[in-house]
Structure 1
Amino acid sequence: MGLEKIKKVSNNEILPLTISKQESRLYMSFIYVAIISLLIGGLMGLLQTLVRSNTITLPWGIGYYQILTLHGVVLALVLTTYFIIGFQFALMGKTVGISLKQRKVAWLSFWVMIVGTVMAAITILMGKASVLYTFYAPLKAHPVFYIGLALVIVGSWIAGFVNWHQLFVWKKKHPGEKSPLLAFMVAINMAMWFIASLGVAVAVLVQFIPWSLGYAETINVLVSRTLFWYFGHPLVYFWLLPAYMAWYAIIPKIIGGKIFSDSLARLSFILFLFFSIPVGFHHQLTEPGIDPVWKFIQVVLTFMVIIPSLMTAFSMFATFEITGRRKGFGGLFGWLKHLPWKDVRFLAPFIGMLAFIPGGAGGIINASHQMNAVVHNTIWVTGHFHLTVATTVILTFFGISYWLIPHLTGRKLTPQLNRLGIIQTIVWTVGMTIMSGAMHIQGLLGGPRRSAFSEYGGTEQASNWIGYQLAQAIGGSILFIGIILMLYIFIKLAFFAPKGIEEFPIAEEEEDAEPTPMFLENWKLWIAITLALILFAYTIPFVDIIQNSPPGSPPFSWPIGN
């Protein structure tokens, strides 16, 4: 359906568009790759927990770091990126529309990403790229791995350009009007992604590819890590903001309520754009070569991101309470009773919200210099990662899938599949609680991350960790059952559920909410502030890093032995 089919209902409401079959095929293509990635990456994760607990030995010469790399790349990069882009394309198609030309370019983004994904996956499977998803130098992968990563990034940029053009065309047709909230959020997320991924793109193109091809004998390790973490921390918010989109604008519709404040939602996304990128040094607090003053400045900027997170929590629980009291539920917590606990579209994201409370607390610890020294490079960090991404984000993505997939495939979420989805959500929550909890505790006891049992088995410390490693194996096994359940539900919703019309739930704003100030859509200002913060946080320390490379080494070079 073209952009001309958008209908204006009132000053504050835009009638959602109908998604055509051609659009659905595009959006589902991204989601198909995501669900396949869930199965492959989940299996690799299960094998890791079994190896770490000394339950199994990998056969056929498969290396531990080979499956560790595959697990990280496939789940943290492939699954998330494909699902997010597919979901965001669906949001844009529903709210501002997509033209035939835009759809063709969107298909180009998909195929560029597919080619890059296949290239990277083949090198990992062949054992030529066991460098983990962070691909830290001086670990070196086959050039095809880095070229594949570059293509995935370029493909995602193409998708971002399509999203921006969709919003640009809509605004030309609706001068002086605020853009649909979800379209605004998608544009913010892709702007953040583009600015952040420039760092890893530079590292791959300027450093890693020439080095892996043999054109450069050395590589500056600190520069490469700095460029990665310039990208690596906003990557977390690239995963998180689509979940926030669902929390702000979709969950209220599912519970029978309305958006608490359009202005607050937009402001929180703008603040995420400001404070998610210039903070990468808090991942490098133990690394030499970076001035402690700049580490401190970026830690302060890191803590600023707590503000939009608290704004989101306030907005969500305000929506829950207002909706409950409007339905007649009184008392201090009586409004909790109205929440649709038996609706998996709500239950899965709600548990994800709850998981973000301890996940956010762990993030504060990781970003705090003294406390980070206790847990740095321990399996605590892995446990934190699984609370935030693998629980908060993934459970919300699961909750989205229960209505998005049948909507796109023209089928219905049946009561039976809804009940099975609730079971899947509970299984996932139990498995992740056991596994992540054991990781946190073992990390406090000094258990290392990224390590196989064979590397520390038989040591005195290993005897203190074995119980927690077995708990991780049990939790991982339960999680894999959850993955099988999700795969079954996906296949049913995509191919076998009864034909019908499933709602695409988009909430309206509260009638008495304050009007959204138009300055919130001053894109030039927000991008300028973001770039200014980045230049402030990175220019001087980055120049210092390059100027103080090892003696005799040219810029962007570091002897591999150091």
Structure 2
Amino acid sequence: MLLEKIAEPNEESRLPLTISKQESRLYMSFMYVAFISLFIGGMMGLLQTLVRSGTITLPWGIDYYQVLTLHGVILALVLTTYFIIGFQFSLMGKTVGISQKQHKAAWLSFWVMVVGTIMTAITILLGKANVLYTFYAPLKAHPAFYIGLALVIIGSWIAGIVNFRQLYVWKKKHPGEKSPLLAFMVTINMLMWIIASIGVAVAVIVQFIPWSLGYAETINVLVSRTLFWYFGHPLVYFWLLPAYMAWYAIIPKIIGGKLFSDSLARLAFILLLFFSIPVGFHHQLTEPGIDPTWKFIQVVLTFMVVIPSLMTAFSIFATFEITGRRKGFKGLYGWFKHLPWKDVRFLAPMIGMLAFIPGGAGGIINASHQMNAVVHNTIWVTGHFHITAATTVVLTFFGITYWLIPHLTGRTLTKSINRLGIIQAIIWTVGMTIMSGAMHIQGLLGGPRRSSYSEYGGTEQASEWIWYQIAQAVGGSILFIGILLMVFIFIKLTFFAPKGEEEFPIAEEEEDATPTPMFLENWKLWIAITIALILFAYTIPFVDIIQNSPPGSPPFDWPIGNS
């Protein structure tokens, strides 16, 4: 029974749907916010690197941690969330469609998120929320910051519910048929997001808002940090899975090939759902109050994610090689040499894929008991973050932009814009290599993350780190040029590129691929296993934390650079 095959979609349900102008306006609204965020967040990142190197002093009494918080929140949370939800809405609209009621609910999700984003941004800009994007207690922000965060999360939940409804309606109309792969992937990602973000929502609503309003005198710091990292690690996969969607189901079409295996892709996403959430303790390895046994168990679960990652690498590079061989390219690496390197829709995501190799290696170090002790809370972690999120994920998002935006706006990707995109990808790669490389080296030398130059300038260590700080400033400056170029390309593709039709590339599966087993569509089973893993990994240690950790910390000024 488990090996029973799902019926293949009929010819009508296999055809991609047309995205209407009404839908395009919805999807583009998310993209507008994402690219405005890219510009603002990039500017804050540039200022940050310049301040850290001692090159400039911030004018008008602007606090360094104000800049640092805005950079983290607007890029790690706002840019990614808006781009992902807009992209995923477009995938669902193209594969399973969207009804008028669903369309209205999608707009509701957008406006709830926008209101929350504005509230959060204002508190940061006014210097009332210099708490970084992790907003660790006992650092305290204005209540509007936490309320705004809660609204952003609620808005994203509405978007997830719309996605679930879209797939449910499609399944009702096509009983017994295999759901479109991209719709399946979007559903997995939003399931993971909603389950994971419950943790940070509880922390914000139950702990932070009453505390910031003065209704609670203390806050349990360890509980708040544990709830954050229950969410914080799946957040990384919330960014990464849309990149995987493009790698699995879109890049093969761009290179003129086909999807290697539908079954393998679905299984990889299911495993990523299982092993992305119950692993937050590997971000808390140095914290007292958590039993080391449970830290070890969650480290083991963290390493399990290697399995779907290797499955993904195998599937994608198998697609590359098969496509190249079919085109007649000989030799051991002839297929690799003749990939469409001059097509920015392929080049940008491909650089992201290659960056994920050192990024994954750094992740193994971060999640390891002994090696984590060397790099914990150093700028190594920041460098790792920029390789994974700011290179692998962001460059893939840029690659998506080159075909998605003109498709939604009724324009075309011209040769000149394609050439400009290639230049942008190279600039981004050079800037990130310099900046992130310097961060990794300085981290191994003990350089702290988050801290400004004024906190350690003039010390013996500062003289040892200075050249790495300067390299970060140089790399950050190059990256900002790349951001300006990308924003220009976005504006060009949105408003000024020639009118026309740009393909929405969705790959078909190989004809001789193994049929997809029915059990891969068993949503109740996958959700049950995910919840069981979470309960196993968190129930006993969380009860122990509540029973034995100190009741809380009174409001007081905390040295934020050492948090």
1:91-490 superposed matches below 5 A: 91-490=91-490
Q: Which amino acid aligns with 2:255?
A: I
Query: What secondary structure sits across from 2:199 in the alignment?
Result: helix
Please say if residues 549 and 558 of structure 1, whose CA atoms lie closer than 8 Å, have aligned partners that are also in contact: no
Q: Which amino acid aligns with 2:206?
A: V
* TM-superposition CA deviations, 1:341-376 (whole Å, max 9, x none): 000000000000000000000000000010000000
1:338 Cα deviation from its structure 2 partner? 2.5
The separation in 2 between residues aligned to 1:248 and 1:400, in whole angstroms, is: 13
1:10 Cα deviation from its structure 2 partner? 3.7
The separation in 2 between residues aligned to 1:539 and 1:185, in whole angstroms, is: 28
Residue matched to 2:561: none
Residue matched to 2:492: 492
More displaced stretch, 334-343 vs 262-271: 334-343
1:331 Cα deviation from its structure 2 partner? 1.0
Residue matched to 1:4: none
Residue matched to 2:37: 37
* TM-superposition CA deviations, 1:194-219 (whole Å, max 9, x none): 00000000000000000000000000
Q: Which amino acid aligns with 2:415?
A: P
The separation in 2 between residues aligned to 1:317 and 1:276, in whole angstroms, is: 23
The separation in 2 between residues aligned to 1:349 and 1:10, in whole angstroms, is: 32
1:330 Cα deviation from its structure 2 partner? 1.3
Query: What secondary structure sits across from 2:74 in the alignment?
Result: helix
* TM-superposition CA deviations, 1:68-89 (whole Å, max 9, x none): 0000000000000000000000
The separation in 2 between residues aligned to 1:196 and 1:380, in whole angstroms, is: 26
Please say if residues 13 and 508 of structure 1, whose CA atoms lie closer than 8 Å, have aligned partners that are also in contact: no
Residue matched to 2:4: none
Q: Which amino acid aligns with 1:527?
A: I
The separation in 2 between residues aligned to 1:93 and 1:334, in whole angstroms, is: 37
Residue matched to 2:14: 14
Query: What secondary structure sits across from 1:267 in the alignment?
Result: helix
Q: Does 1:516 align with 2:489?
A: no
1:264 Cα deviation from its structure 2 partner? 0.4
Please say if residues 324 and 337 of structure 1, whose CA atoms lie closer than 8 Å, have aligned partners that are also in contact: no
Q: Which amino acid aligns with 2:107?
A: W
* TM-superposition CA deviations, 1:117-167 (whole Å, max 9, x none): 000000000000000000000000000000000000000000000000000
* TM-superposition CA deviations, 1:258-284 (whole Å, max 9, x none): 000000000000000000000000000
The separation in 2 between residues aligned to 1:314 and 1:9, in whole angstroms, is: 26
The separation in 2 between residues aligned to 1:260 and 1:117, in whole angstroms, is: 40
1:11 Cα deviation from its structure 2 partner? 6.6
The separation in 2 between residues aligned to 1:166 and 1:10, in whole angstroms, is: 18
Q: Which has the higher contact order (CA 8 A, sep 6+)?
A: 2
The separation in 2 between residues aligned to 1:304 and 1:438, in whole angstroms, is: 30
Q: Which amino acid aligns with 1:262?
A: D
Task: Give TM-score, length-normalised by structure 2.
Answer: 0.97
Please say if residues 375 and 443 of structure 2, whose CA atoms lie closer than 8 Å, have aligned partners that are also in contact: yes
Q: How well do the aligned residues superpose, as a CA RMSD in angstroms?
A: 1.1
1:524 Cα deviation from its structure 2 partner? 0.2
Please say if residues 138 and 553 of structure 2, whose CA atoms lie closer than 8 Å, have aligned partners that are also in contact: no
Q: Which amino acid aligns with 1:83?
A: F
5+ long unaligned stretches in structure 1: 1-7
The separation in 1 between residues aligned to 2:160 and 2:184, in whole angstroms, is: 13
Residue matched to 1:506: 506
Residue matched to 1:25: 25
Please say if residues 9 and 15 of structure 1, whose CA atoms lie closer than 8 Å, have aligned partners that are also in contact: no
Q: Which amino acid aligns with 1:529?
A: I
5+ long unaligned stretches in structure 2: 1-7, 559-563
1:60 Cα deviation from its structure 2 partner? 0.2
1:13 Cα deviation from its structure 2 partner? 6.8
Residue matched to 2:527: 527
Residue matched to 2:47: 47
The separation in 2 between residues aligned to 1:13 and 1:467, in whole angstroms, is: 58
* TM-superposition CA deviations, 1:15-57 (whole Å, max 9, x none): 0000000000000000000000000000000000000000000
The separation in 1 between residues aligned to 2:9 and 2:470, in whole angstroms, is: 58
Q: Which amino acid aligns with 1:367?
A: A
Task: Give TM-score, length-normalised by structure 1.
Answer: 0.97
Query: What secondary structure sits across from 2:391 in the alignment?
Result: helix
Residue matched to 1:5: none
Size of the aligned set, in residue pairs, is 550
Identity %: 87
Please say if residues 222 and 549 of structure 2, whose CA atoms lie closer than 8 Å, have aligned partners that are also in contact: no
